[in-house]
Amino acid sequence: MKQIAIFASGAGSNASKIIDHFRSHADIKVSLVVCNKPGAGVLDIAQKEGIPTLILEKEAFFRGSAYLEELRENGVDFIVLAGFLWKIPSALVKAYPGRIINIHPALLPKYGGKGMYGRFVHEAVVEAKETETGITIHYVDELYDHGQVIFQERVPVTPEDTPGTVAQKVHWLEHQHFPKIIEAVVAADAPANAHPANAHQANAAKSSDSRRSTDVT
């Protein structure tokens, strides 16, 4: 069974769709909901579903362990960012190579980067009189909204659209596609040596081996 942790800071409508999608899945399970905002709607959703939650503290996340130990203890194989606003620390990106996925509510590379989230994205799209917008699902690297694109889908923007109506259209697209794309990415992950905790331990063993061989020579 591959286990997913959903990282979310907000209402959690995407988290809810993802949880629904995998509720009876034979091979993939949402095993943890991670949040940096006590009281966020996504925590209520997790609680109703009986999914364990983890509240992040900023200091520990950015200057500490990035909660790697907790993720390992929970057997987390993949991390899905669904409205999570903090940048992912490099320790986490390295521990989960190719196994952190984000959704962005625009057609990256347009309207991405620091400060481009939620209504700010849709306001910018309307302000620029774009004729289309959409969603981007991508791997996460150490820069905001930058990793390799996995999937994009478009939706028209009309002169009558407001940031609010654009947000509705984009949310609809997200709910249609995000769970299915997560399923495809997780299912395609090679089973051998797949557990990031193992990969991390293997890397640690490799680097201590190389230190040892450097010491000897």
| 55-63, 99-107, 140-148, 188-196 -> range binding ligand GRF (CB under 6 A) | 99-107
Give the contacts of 69 (CB within 8 A, at least 6 positions apart).
none
Instruction: Name which of residues 103 to 162 contact ligand GRF (CB under 6 A).
Output: 103-105
**CA atoms within 13 Å, Cβ hemisphere of 126:** 16
The CB-nearest residue to ligand GRF is: 83
Residues paired with residue 32 on neighbouring β-strands, in sequence order: 5
**Is the CB of 13 or the CB of 74 nearer to ligand GRF?**
13
**CA atoms within 13 Å, Cβ hemisphere of 61:** 14
Q: What is the largest CA-CA distance in the chain?
A: 71
Q: Does 83 bind ligand GRF (CB under 6 A)?
A: yes
**Is the CB of 116 or the CB of 197 nearer to ligand GRF?**
116
Cross-sheet strand order for the sheet of 100-104:
53-55, 28-35, 2-7, 78-81, 100-104, 132-139, 149-156
| 5-13, 139-147, 183-191, 201-209 -> range binding ligand GRF (CB under 6 A) | 5-13
From residue 170, give the alpha-carbon distance in Å to each of 94, 96, 163.
30, 28, 10
Given the residues 25, 104, 146, 195, the one annotated as active site: 104
Q: Which of 6, 12, 125, 139: binder of ligand GRF (CB under 6 A)?
A: 12
Binding-site residue total for ligand GRF (CB under 6 A)?
14
Q: Does 11 bind ligand GRF (CB under 6 A)?
A: yes
Instruction: Give the residue among 22, 153, 143 at the shortest CA–CA distance from 88.
Output: 143
Q: Does 177 bind ligand GRF (CB under 6 A)?
A: no
Residue 171 among the catalytic residues: no
Would you tell me which residues interact with ligand GRF (CB under 6 A)?
Answer: 8, 10-15, 82-83, 103-105, 171, 174
